[in-house]
Amino acid sequence: MLLTIDIGNTNITLGVFKEDEIIHFWRLSTDITRTEDEYGIFIKNLLRDKQIENEIKASVISSVVVQLTEKIESAVKKYIGIDSLIISHKIKTNVTIKSDNPSQVGADRIANACAASKLYNSPLIVVDFGTATSFDIVNQDNEFMGGIITAGMKIQAEALSSKTSKLPKLNIEIPKSVIGKNTIDAMLSGIVWGHATMIDGLITECEKELGQKAVIIATGGYSSVICNYLKRKFDYINPYLTLIGEKIIYELNR
């Protein structure tokens, strides 16, 4: 079995693959203050609870949190007894990275591009709803061209409440209408409808630069919230896309 770990700014997601099927999935809060031992014990207990502690033969990690990459790699080695492949632009992938500075491309974005390229037709656009909302673009020649990074919905909500004196904190929910009849609904409308309108517009502009229609794939926690507000619907929603990409990259580098 393969353990896949995606370390994001807000959450750490873990998946276990048995051959080509993801059989277990967990989401943890990212906390840079946790020690190597805390992470190791936590991961070991998750696997033990599923009675697969001794079935894990390898691990692969994508990370955008530098402070945690080595810590979790060491935790997996110490408590699970296996080495981890760390995803970067330097290792073998099934796409050609054509951005100006490949070293700056996040490991999660590389994994997204690899998974989408394997599963779907090119050209394609992956929209990943994480702490940031990112667009990963793969052209018809299977080249990762780069993309777009913008503030995610959670960041927008936190910024509104922290940078203003009267606007409250809120959880991201489905807005009742475009025109908010109260402060909460007005904020939700701005965040959700505004985000959807932005995504529609950016997809249109990306397709202009590609010179053709693209396959649109969504992943990340808020993809199911946004999908109902788009004029251009997602072709696919795949919540495991990043972890699938990690598995593909692991297999290419065995």
**Active-site amino acid positions:** 108
Distance between CA atoms of residues 247 and 130, nearest Å: 20
The two most distant CA atoms of the chain are separated, in Å, by 57
Strands annotated E in the chain = 2-7, 11-18, 21-29, 58-63, 84-86, 96-97, 124-129, 132-138, 143-151, 215-220, 236-237
Q: What is each CA distance from 173 to 13, 18, 128, 146, 165, in whole angstroms?
A: 22, 35, 18, 30, 22
- CB-side neighbour CA atoms (13 Å) of 124: 25
- Cα-Cα-Cα-Cα torsion 208, 89, 65, 188, nearest 10 degrees, comes to 10
User: Judging by DSSP bridges, how do beta strands 58-63 and 2-7 pair with one another?
Assistant: parallel
Q: Check: CB of residue 176 under 8 Å from CB of residue 196.
A: no
230's CB contacts (< 8 A; 6+ apart) are 196, 199, 200
